Structure 1
């Protein structure tokens, strides 16, 4: 649903145990809210107790914190 939604599937090719879980889905959705923009990220896999979701979930707070800082100040807080 351009330009407000980007969705894709992907698979971890580097760790065999995560590759075996198959493809994950991820979507980014932008929504105007009271003069600002709300970003919703949905990331999942059709598998209970997914090691992949457990592995990537720790990275989202860092990525989003840096995105917020970059948009507000032009600089990231937490280097890669």
Structure 2
């Protein structure tokens, strides 16, 4: 069991053994979840990790973010070429 102390400002340090176990680095965000009289600490997922877990509505096909980004990029390049902004 690992311990840490809460400072007068309500801050604490996540012990190195816990950071290693969770793969946390400086600047990473964590989520605190209260479960009864305990707290669960877990890494906050990156936005792109969550994006891939969303399912499309029933009857609709999913759209790849990479495909949409490429279509948008191609449209921008075509528009820039028409305007002579290449």
After TM superposition, is the score higher than 0.5? no
Higher relative contact order (CA 8 A, sep 6+): 1
| Bigger Rg, which one | 2
**So what's the TM-score if we normalise by structure 2?**
0.24
**So what's the TM-score if we normalise by structure 1?**
0.25
Higher share in strand: 1
